[in-house]
Amino acid sequence: MTPAIPVRRRPLVSGNWKMNFDHHQAIHAARDLGLRLRGSDTAAVDISLHPPFTDLRSVQTVLEADDVPVALGAQNCAVEDAGAFTGEVSAPMLAKLHVEYVIVGHSERRRLFGETDEVVAAKLRAVVRNGMTPICCVGETLEEREAGATTARLTAQVEAALGAFEGTGLPALVVAYEPLWAIGTGRAASAQDAEEAAQVVRSVVARARGDDAAGQLRVQYGGSVTPENAAELLAPPDVDGLLVGGASLDPAQFVAIVRAAHPPR
Ligand code: 13P
C-alpha cells in the first residue's frame, strides 16, 4: 500500500485585536497592514482580522476600498438573530458588514463572561446560520494540564462544539487550540504540545464525523505567538494556522507571522 500523502490545509492566520484600538487606530492599523502585505502572502495564506465591534465598519471600508485580501472577522456574537437583548450584536449584523469569520468561545469569554459549552454551541449555530465561519476556541487551564486532563478537556469542548450541529452536516469550522496558560503570558506552548492538541481535536472530529471531515478541519494554535516562534509552531502537520493576540496589534509583527506560514522554499 502506498503511504497516504500528508494533507496540508491552507493556513489561516488570524489577528484577534481583543479590546484594543478605537476606530481611528483601527483604520491606521488596517491600512498599514494592507501596505505591508504582498501578493505572495495572500496567495499562500488566508488572513483574518478581528477588531472590536465599533471598528468593524471602518476596517471593512479600508479593506474593501484598498482591495486588501484580508477577511474581516469578529470576536463574538449574540445567540439570537434579533430582539430585546440590550448591548448584544447579532450574527446577521456582522454578516451585513461582510464579516467572514467569528471567534466563538474564546477563553476570555468563557472565563470572564460565563460562557458555557451550551452558549458556545448556540453561538456556533448563529454564526453558521448566517453564512459565516466560526473559529471555535478550546483549551485547558494550567491546573488541568498538570493534572493530566488536557485530552479530556479538549475532547469535551470539541464534542460540545460538534453537538451544535447534531443531525446536520458539519459546516465549515475552524478550531483554535488556545491553552489558557499560554494566552498573554509570553509562554507559548511547544510545537509538540500544539501538535498533540491538534491531533486530539482532529481525532474527536474523525470519531464523530468521519475522516474526511477531520481531514478538512483547520486547527489553529493561539497563545503568545510571535514572529520568532511562529514558524516552529506552524511546522507540525496538524497545526494549520495561528490565532494571534498581542502581536497582531503591530502590523509589522503580524505580517512577519503571516510570512512564517509560507516560508520561501
Ligand atoms: P496572545 O497572542 O496575546 O497570547 O493572545 C492569544 C489569544 O488569546 C488570541 O485569541
pLDDT digits (tens, 9 = 90+) for 67-126: 999 999 999 999 999 999 999 999 999 999 999 999 999 999 999 999 999 999 999 999
CA 263-223-207 angle, to 5 degrees, is 85
Q: Is the Cβ atom of 222 under 6 angstroms away from ligand 1?
A: yes
**Residue 97 DSSP class:** T
Is the Cα dihedral 157, 50, 196, 238 positive or negative? positive
Catalytic site includes residue 106: yes
With a CB cutoff of 8 Å and minimum separation 6, the contacts of 55 are 17, 21, 22, 23, 26
Angle between helices 23-36 and 56-65 (to 10 degrees): 30
CB atoms within 10 A of CB 175: 27
- The verdict on whether 178 is a catalytic residue reads yes
Q: Is the CB of 16 under 6 A from ligand 1?
A: yes
Give percent of the chain above pLDDT 90. 95
Tell me the pLDDT band of 8, cut-offs 50, 70 and 90: confident
Q: What is the pLDDT of residue 102?
A: 98
Q: Residue 7's pLDDT band (boundaries 50, 70, 90)?
A: low
For domain 12-260, give the CATH number: 3.20.20.70
Is residue 169 scored above 70 in pLDDT? yes
Which atom number of ligand 1 is nearest to the Cα of residue 244? 2
15 touches ligand 1 (CB under 6 Å): no
pLDDT single digits (tens) 20-77: 999 999 999 999 999 999 999 999 999 999 999 999 999 999 999 999 999 999 999 9
